[in-house]
Structure 1
Amino acid sequence: MNRTIPLAVCFILSTLGVLQAQDSSFLAPPKYVGPPQTVHAVTNRAFTGIPSLAVSRGGRLWATWYAGKTPREDANNYVVLSTSGNGGETWEEVLVVDPDENGPVRAYDPELWIAPDGKLRLIWAQAVGHLGTIAGVWFLEIEDPDVEQPVYGEAKRVTDGIMMCKPLVLSTGEWALPASTWRETDESARMIVSVDQGKTWAQRGGCNVPKDVRAFDEHIFVERNDGSIWLLARTKYGIGESVSTDRRKTWPELTPSKIAHPSARFFIRRLASGNLLLVKHGPIEKKTGRSHLMAFVSNDDGETWKGGLMLDERAGVSYPDGQQDTNGVIHIVYDYNRTKDRHILFASFREEDVAAGKAITDSVKLRQVISDASGE
């Protein structure tokens, strides 16, 4: 089968000299998508981290992360998909996305999303090396996320860049991806939009992160009640923000937000109540390291935050992501010590617990294990 290289990628390869021609294999679909093989066994992992979580309409939990046989983010990286049909009591790894086992192509930074059509999207980045400019966002559509064994179609590359946070369905019905060509380019925190339920995608503007604070973007969108879009992004100093008021076509340059945070991913999402949930490290106005993972709630579109439910105070916890299920329970996944303990964990709770800053319902369950690759 002949495959053509997108024009944007050709420009990057020719002008920046990032890759040799033989390394353009990252543009091809992964060579292996299927059940975990021996090489993917938990006992063969020296790296485990960067997770995401989604919940089907019927309550089945799904978690993804990436792993590797070396203790690094390198050419050995592959994506793991695990599921639980009993509320997280037990988990089974059912799928692996591995571009070529030993490299040079790596699959990494996965994300899970239940789209309005009810399908589960397993999303990941694929590239040679770590440059956001030559990475691509790949989708694998899983038809029925209520069943344990996933039935899926072909893996598809939908846009350039890396998508580290969940898509947003706008009030217009459009689907918006927060895809980034981080670090190397201006206006790297981009919005990629589909007007036809994911059949096609096109860029609709991008926010510029100043060069001196530019890191990995890992941006996320929130549609506010006034119709504006609030963009929050990771920077070297913590969390920056930009607000678009013209239907997402233009974005002011990123400026520091009022939310104190280390340079790490955070999670924000609108709840069924209409309030916003924020999961971050430490109190709202206090900058900590990658510890003290806490949940807060806002009833004024992020102007103020209340509560502060402690999910995990240990050093080495990071990268929260999650979803509220149809019963109102919030599930948040995160990692712990990616090259030592190699844990993927999740917490469950309700909005009331967050607002109170302590467990007041029987839904609070903390430090639940999804995967332990420590060998202990």
Structure 2
Amino acid sequence: MRFIVLLLTCAYQIPMLCAQEANIALKSSEFLFETGKFFAQCHASTIEETADGVLLTSWFAGTHEGSDDVRIWGARYEKGQWTEPRVWADGKLADGTQQPCWNPVLFRAPKESLLYLYYKVGPNPREWWGMVKTSHDGGKSWSAAKRLPTGILGPIKNKPLALPDGTILSPSSVEISEDRWVAHVERSTDQQQTWVAYPIDHDGKMNVIQPSIVEHTDGRLQVLCRSKEGVVATAWSTDAGKSWSALEKTDLINPNSGTDAIRVGNRFYIVYNPALPGKDWWEGRAKLRLATSTDGMHWKDVLHLEDEEKGEFSYPTIMQDSKGLIHIVYTHNRKNIKHVTIKE
């Protein structure tokens, strides 16, 4: 019924969102688990596909964001349904104390079977550090946790991008203080064994975190970032991520909330909250939209994923699977993770 109502709304009330240019349609919508059964709150989901076509999702959950009991949870899609959530990683330290976990990112490089689970551990985003686990069996089991080198945080929210030559670019950022945010790209040419960080306009005035990376058909790379300035900000690279242009504004507004973007064919898609910043960081997250672009600068909304007056629908991740289906996962009021599929 939800699917039918959405289509009728698109057809009769807001035809500009029917995506005639992009030709997309909502295929399915579901929650990942039973609300309230496993934890009080959850946030920051990620999704990936194994080499044999199985979907995996992960997120952090516990009493509330930043509490010591927050761990990394995950599930696999088996026999037409999501498995019950399991803890995939925690923030237990060598001395037995516990730190909260944050922002998992699942990633598998093309033509490889090894899965990576990147995440952060620490008291807050200004003091956290990067961690990684790997899986050889599609997420059924995970290796021991490994801390990333000093100065390397791993992907902060959105997944890395594999270039045609095998180089892996990990979109990252640092919240230096409450007042200063900067983004960078971590680059690996040895299958994610070592990394070198390259800044994105650290001398500029814009404050950005949580970039996505997309590659244009001419080989240019583009980052799309969350910002404090009320817009989705962007920068460009013509040397495979080693140097970046000054940050500039796209035409997308941003309420200081996470976004995610991918390229599908000759078109780009971004999931974002269409609002200006409010007094508090959580304001502006009650609406969630999918927009499309052909140049990465000018965007057009093509689908309303959520359209409420109150609530939090945030921190989306978007991916395309091996069959061409587009998947989006996002926080649903901190109580569950919603998974939607879109057919282009």
TM-score range for the pair, normalised by the shorter chain length:
0.7 to 0.9
- 1:226 paired with 2:218, answer yes
- 1:153 paired with 2:172, answer no
For 1:324, give the aligned amino acid: Q
- 1:137 paired with 2:127, answer no
Deviations 1:324-346 (A, max 9, x none): 111211110001111xxx11111
CA contact (8 A) 2:271 2:318 kept: no
Shift of 1:183: 3.4
Distance 1:187 1:247, change over 3 A: farther
CA contact (8 A) 1:279 1:320 kept: yes
1:328-347 matches, cutoff 5 A: 328-338=324-334, 342-347=335-340
CA contact (8 A) 1:188 1:209 kept: no
Aligned residue in 2 for 1:290: 285
Q: Distance in 2 between matches of 1:301 and 1:178?
A: 20
**Identity in percent:** 25
* 2:258 corresponds to which of 260, 265, 281: 265
Aligned residue in 2 for 1:93: 85
CA contact (8 A) 2:217 2:266 kept: no
Distance 1:301 1:56, change over 3 A: farther
Tell me, which stretches of 5 or more residues in structure 1 are unaligned? 1-40, 352-376
- 1:320 paired with 2:329, answer no
Deviations 1:338-360 (A, max 9, x none): 1xxx1111111112xxxxxxxxx
Tell me, which stretches of 5 or more residues in structure 2 are unaligned? 1-34
Aligned residue in 2 for 1:45: 39
* TM score, norm. by length of structure 2: 0.76
Aligned residue in 2 for 1:112: 106
Q: Distance in 2 between matches of 1:267 and 1:261?
A: 12
* TM score, norm. by length of structure 1: 0.70
Shift of 1:209: 7.2
Q: Distance in 2 between matches of 1:323 and 1:138?
A: 22
Distance 1:319 1:141, change over 3 A: same
CA contact (8 A) 1:62 1:84 kept: yes
Q: Distance in 1 between matches of 2:102 and 2:237?
A: 29
Aligned residue in 2 for 1:79: 72
Shift of 1:246: 3.5
Shift of 1:311: 1.8
Distance 1:304 1:206, change over 3 A: closer
Shift of 1:192: 0.8
CA contact (8 A) 1:297 1:305 kept: yes
Moved more, 285-294 or 91-100: 285-294
For 1:230, give the aligned amino acid: Q
Alpha carbon RMSD of aligned pairs, Å? 2.9
Secondary structure in structure 2 of the residue aligned to 1:294: strand
For 2:56, give the aligned amino acid: W
Shift of 1:307: 5.5
* 2:271 corresponds to which of 273, 279, 284: 279
